[in-house]
């Protein structure tokens, strides 16, 4: 699989090299609501959690207090370095970081109870999203939970050009404070539609228990391995 798609080359410029060190300031995120959501879904010290595309570990480190084993996976060595800095600061001892990706991570040991992935799968084209989802499915226990977030367009075909123009026009003018139009344009071809993403999830063996969309641009899926 990895010979056909270079995950690191497509990981997004903001996530590799020197840029990774300032990613958290560029894109702020408070993980507490997501930690609460997983706890409501049954995360506790007896459960295992995999965070795919964990970045600097904002979610994984916050969730580790409430979980048993946590495995944080990311394709970017620069994110790994940022992750290790956070781990030192917050004593995230029960987290294992694995350098790998949706397509290249090889899970060892028992299947996990929870998979969480925020803003990472949208770096893959649809063919590889399907392979990624199928691999996440195989990592989960039957009945296990997948919480998946990312940019997903809930537009009708006839609206698409205008909605994408508006999406790009709303981009940040300051690369230190958000993604700029130029940055968004590079990754645009790897985005997908809600009316493709939902069947992709189902085809890969997930039951979608809840699908939420923000501004018809951003999706949160709460799924269970069937």
Ligand X SMILES: C[S@@+](CC[C@H](N)C(=O)[O-])C[C@H]1O[C@@H](n2cnc3c(N)ncnc32)[C@H](O)[C@@H]1O
Considering only residues 175 to 214 of the shown chain, the ones binding ligand X according to CB under 6 A are none
What 3-state class would DSSP assign to 105?
Answer: coil
Minimum CB separation of residue 73 from ligand X in Å reads: 6
Residue 223, interface with ligand X (CB under 6 A)? no
Residue 134, both tokens: 């199928």
* 8 Å CB contact between 23 and 55: yes
In the list 35, 67, 101, 191, the residue contacting ligand X (rule: CB under 6 A) is 101
Which one among 47, 61, 63, 102 touches ligand X, defined by CB under 6 A?
102
Least Cα distance to 155 among 196, 122, 114 occurs for 196
55 vs 92, beta carbon nearer ligand X: 55
Closer to ligand X by Cβ: residue 124 or 146:
124
Site for ligand X in 103-132 (CB under 6 A): 118-120, 123-124
Question: Which 13-52 positions form the footprint of ligand X (CB under 6 A)?
Answer: 15, 29, 52
d(CA 225, CA 175): 38
Q: Is 196 left (phi over 0), alpha (psi -120 to 50) or beta?
A: alpha
Q: How far is the CB of 134 from ligand X (least distance, A)?
A: 14
The two beta strands, 95-99 and 192-193, are: unpaired
What is the CB neighbour count within 10 angstroms for residue 128?
Answer: 20
Judged by the rule CB under 6 A, the positions of this chain that interact with ligand X are 7, 11-12, 15, 29, 52-55, 58, 74-76, 79, 101-102, 118-120, 123-124
């Amino acid at each position: 699989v990895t010979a056909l798609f270079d995950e690191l080359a497509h990981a997004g410029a903001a996530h590799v090299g020197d840029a990774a060190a300032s990613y958290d300031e560029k894109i702020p995120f408070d993980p507490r609501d997501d930690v609460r959501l997983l706890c409501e879904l049954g995360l506790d010290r007896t459960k295992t959690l995999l965070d795919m595309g964990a970045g600097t570990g904002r979610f994984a480190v916050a969730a580790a207090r409430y979980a048993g084993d946590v495995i944080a996976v990311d394709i970017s060595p620069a994110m790994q370095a940022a992750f290790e800095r956070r781990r030192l600061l917050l004593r995230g001892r029960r987290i294992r970081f694995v350098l790998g990706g949706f397509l290249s991570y090889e899970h060892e040991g028992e299947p996990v109870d929870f998979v969480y992935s925020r803003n990472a799968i949208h770096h893959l084209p649809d063919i590889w999203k399907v392979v990624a989802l199928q691999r996440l499915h195989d990592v989960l226990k039957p009945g296990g939970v997948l919480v998946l977030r990312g940019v997903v367009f809930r537009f009708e075909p006839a609206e698409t050009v205008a909605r994408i123009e508006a999406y790009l026009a709303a981009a940040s003018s300051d690369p230190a404070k958000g993604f700029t139009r130029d940055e968004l344009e590079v990754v645009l071809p790897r985005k997908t539609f809600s009316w493709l993403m939902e069947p992709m999830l189902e085809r890969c063996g997930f039951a979608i228990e809840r699908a939420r969309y923000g501004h018809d641009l951003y999706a949160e899926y709460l799924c269970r391995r069937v």
